Every structure is written in structure tokens, then in C-alpha cells.
Amino acid sequence: MTEETLFSKIIDKSLPSDMVYQDDLVTAFRDINPAAPTHILIVPNRIIPTVDDVQDSDEATMGRMLRVARDLAREEGIAESGYRLIINCREHGRQEVPHLHMHLLGGRDLGFMVAREK
Ligand code: 5GP
């Protein structure tokens, strides 16, 4: 059995969150420390630690995450102005929580995608 994660406890509601969406494959909730006016995390209900751990059988879940991101962006009123989807992976990606999650960020100009080395 896969160990529980912070996000699996949010998914099963044993930890509180500002949840905005849940279905059979994915859950979405607002980031506790938002970096933009809209900052929502979209996570697979199945515990997948990183993008590198995604299985071929997770394809439907990965597609669902994108569809839910599209719908939530529309609901948040940021679809027209634009937004950014980010999935961090492991150390160089600065992934903090070992449960795959996609950030949906918008509501302001987000600047350049990645800080460039000087
Ligand atoms: P990462 O750096 O792993 O891509 O992003 C982890 C995100 O999870 C961070 O943006 C952080 O603010 C958010 N986060 C960490 N702990 C909690 C929590 O307990 N609840 C919620 N809603 N978000 C959290």
C-alpha cells in the first residue's frame, strides 16, 4: 500500500482544505500560500509521487487534470487573460510535496517562465 501524503489526507478530507473540485480521478483545492490571485492545485486521487512515476494506465487521469484546469480557469475568470500550469518534479524542479500536483496560477501577469541564470 502506498503511504499517505499531505495531499492524500486533503483528498480523503481528513485534513481541511478549500476544495473547489473533486471527481473519481482528481481533486482540486486552493494553495495554502498562494503565489497569484488564483492558485489552485490539481492532484490525482491516486498517490503518484512525481511525474516520473506516472504509469501508462494513468493516461486518463493526466487528461482529466488538464480538462479540470481548463474548466477551473474559466470558472475563476482567468481563461481570457491567461494563466500558467506548472508541475514541479523532484529536486531541480523544487517539488516540495511528493504527491504529483499541477499548479493553476493566474489573475496577474506571471512574468517570465523561469528565472535565467546570470
Ligand atoms: P511544490 O513546490 O511541491 O510544487 O508545491 C507544493 C505546494 O503545496 C506549495 O505551493 C504549497 O504552498 C502547497 N501546500 C503545502 N502544504 C499545503 C497544505 O497543507 N494545504 C494546501 N492547500 N496547500 C499546501
What is the per-residue pLDDT across 62-89, written as a single tens digit (0 to 9) for each? 999 999 999 999 999 999 999 999 999 9
Cα 1 to chain centroid distance, Å, stands at 23
Measured CA distances, 75 to 38, 40, 68, 85 (Å): 11, 12, 10, 16
| Domain extent at residue 55 | 6-106
State mean pLDDT over 27-49.
98
Q: Is the pTM of this model over 0.75?
A: yes
The verdict on residue 88 lying in a domain is yes
CATH code, 95: 3.30.428.10
- Domain tally for the chain? 1
The verdict on residue 118 lying in a domain is no
Q: What ligand 1 atom has the least distance to the C-alpha of 86?
A: 4
Q: Name which residue sits closest to atom 20 of ligand 1, judged by CA.
A: 32
The verdict on residue 117 lying in a domain is no
State mean pLDDT over 14-43.
98
The verdict on residue 115 lying in a domain is no
108 pLDDT higher than 80 = yes
